[in-house]
Amino acid sequence: MSDTHAQTAAFVRDSMIQQQDPPVSQSGAVKWVRENLFSSWLNIILTLASLWFIWAALSHLLPWMLRGIWQADSLAQCRAIRDELYGPDVSAACWAVITERWNQLLFGFYPQDLYWRPVLAFVLFLVAIAPVLFQGLPKKMLGFSLLSPFVIFWLIWGGSIWGPVAIALGFVVGWAVTRYLTPVIGVLPGVIATILAPIVYWLLVAAPLAGLLQDILPLGITPVGSKDIGGFMLALVIGVSGIVLSLPLGILLALGRQSDMFLINKVSVTFIETIRGVPLIVWLFTASLLLNYFLPPGTNFDLMLRVIIMVTLFASAYIAEVVRGGLAALPKGQYEAAGALGLDYWNSMRLIILPQALKISIPGIVNTFIGLFKDTTLVMIIGMMDPLFLANAIRATTDWNGVYWELFVFIGLCFFVFCFSMGRYSLFLEKKLRREHR
């Protein structure tokens, strides 16, 4: 059979053809462009329309941004410089308003010589949340995270150091009761004592103790009132406190809504639906106008604290709904397995149910946090100095009357950075915690 070839085929190749490059249209950039931009008539139209849109937007925005004037004292001067450099009626941004007023947009009317305090507080805050956000860091840093709220509070508002110390001692009291008293008096009285002891301490002992310590050893820094705090600092203070406080409250509410106990269930449902049914603005007005009606005559506490409480309650109702979704998504077998292991309610929640439910609800929780942070701008409407309020105030001065877009761009970018990074972190966390089908 070996010689049949010789008769049937005139030519038999006995060497391999050299490997050749694919045709130009099937490789590299050309192929990518053909497949991703011009694969069909519809795609060609869409691509051209998008290119036109991008060109139209950038051709207006980029020259305006790049021609921007960074050094001037007022809008009039800005325009004079522009006329000199580019001629009249050329669009050019006046970034000078940012260079001139950035400190106000960031800190509000916080005393200028004390800017190091909020800056230090912000750095401490970053250090404190780092071990919470990223598992790779040493566990010991968590101790500092627990301490940081008091340090940050003291740095921002100033005043005597003994106030925050006295408040922090309340948690030490609670811890000491759990640690030393509970083995003696039993679990349930122990739990009740753990809750009651710090409350009694805060109500009765903390204030006199702080005063006494201040008399013995006066240690403190210049106090700064809440009304001087503004700009992004205000947004961060309200946003971060709301985020930190609303998560535990939201989880408790979600558990309450899942509870079999009739009363607990109905109270949670009523609370969640009432809060969610009414816009935040109405709640903020309630906080600023009506809260004094519901408190004992003569009490009057900080507007900022009221707003933080309202924002926390508002966000916790939304978080409760998100967590409820996570709880409902767990198969019933998980609850039964926890019961079969002999765990009681709180232990089965802590060890088995919540870790899984919270993992499912991460995207929703982070979205709620992003919403909360964006909603801090609403405090402008009840007269607090958030960035948008300050933008209006800056525009109201004679120097900067008529400046719009530069301020909007700056504020929008700052919010974008915070919210976008929160969203990215949520994606990162989801990926890290994904257990199935890797």
Q: Interacting stretch for other proteins, rule CB under 8 A, among 98-106, 123-131, 304-312, 403-411?
A: 403-411
Give yes or no for residue 411 binding other proteins (CB under 8 A). yes
Interacting residue with other proteins among 420, 427, 428, 433 (CB under 8 A):
420
Q: Interacting stretch for other proteins, rule CB under 8 A, among 138-146, 159-167, 346-354, 416-424?
A: 416-424
Least gap, CB of 408 to other proteins (angstroms): 5
**Which residues face 108 on adjacent strands?**
229
Interacting residue with other proteins among 205, 264, 330, 393 (CB under 8 A):
264
Give yes or no for residue 294 binding other proteins (CB under 8 A). yes
Interacting residue with other proteins among 178, 182, 226, 286 (CB under 8 A):
286
Interacting residue with other proteins among 39, 59, 347, 401 (CB under 8 A):
39
CB 213 within 8 A of CB 161: no
Tell me, letter by letter, the H, E, C secondary structure of the chain.
Answer: CCCHHHHHCCCCCCCCCCCCCCCHHHCHHHHHHHHHCCCCHHHHHHHHHHHHHHHHHHHHHHHHHHCCCCCCCCHHHHHHHHHHHHCCCCCCCCCHHHHHHHHHHHHECCCHHHCHHHHHHHHHHHHHHHHHHCCCCCCCHHHHHHHHHHHHHHHHHCEECHHHHHHHHHHHHHHHHHHHHHHHHCHHHHHHHHHHHHHHHHHHHHHHHHHHHHHHCCCEECCCCHHHECHHHHHHHHHHHHHHHHHHHHHHHHHHHHCCCHHHHHHHHHHHHHHHHCCHHHHHHHHHHHHHHHCCCCCCCCHHHHHHHHHHHHHHHHHHHHHHHHHHHCCHHHHHHHHHCCCCHHHHHHHHHHHHHHHHHHHHHHHHHHHHHHHHHHHHHHCCCCHHHHHHHHHHCCCCCCCCHHHHHHHHHHHHHHHHHHHHHHHHHHHHHCCCCC
Interacting residue with other proteins among 383, 412, 427, 434 (CB under 8 A):
412
Q: Interacting stretch for other proteins, rule CB under 8 A, among 20-28, 82-90, 120-128, 279-287?
A: 279-287
Least gap, CB of 49 to other proteins (angstroms): 8
Give yes or no for residue 216 binding other proteins (CB under 8 A). no
Distance CA 358, CA 325 (A): 10
Site string for other proteins, 241-260 (x = CB under 8 A): -------------------x
Give yes or no for residue 397 binding other proteins (CB under 8 A). no
Interacting residue with other proteins among 277, 331, 333, 342 (CB under 8 A):
277
Least gap, CB of 300 to other proteins (angstroms): 12
Interacting residue with other proteins among 377, 393, 425, 430 (CB under 8 A):
377
- Which one, 157 or 314, has the nearer CB to other proteins? 314
Least gap, CB of 323 to other proteins (angstroms): 16
- CB-side neighbour CA atoms (13 Å) of 16: 3
- Which one, 116 or 262, has the nearer CB to other proteins? 262
Q: Interacting stretch for other proteins, rule CB under 8 A, among 138-146, 309-317, 353-361, 402-410?
A: 402-410
* Footprint (CB under 8 A) of other proteins, residues 172-191: 188
- Which one, 69 or 284, has the nearer CB to other proteins? 284
Q: Rule CB under 8 A: which residues touch other proteins?
A: 35-37, 39, 43, 46-47, 50-51, 53-54, 188, 260-264, 267, 273-274, 276-282, 285-286, 289-290, 292-297, 370, 374-375, 377-378, 380-381, 388, 404-405, 408, 411-412, 415-416, 419-420, 423
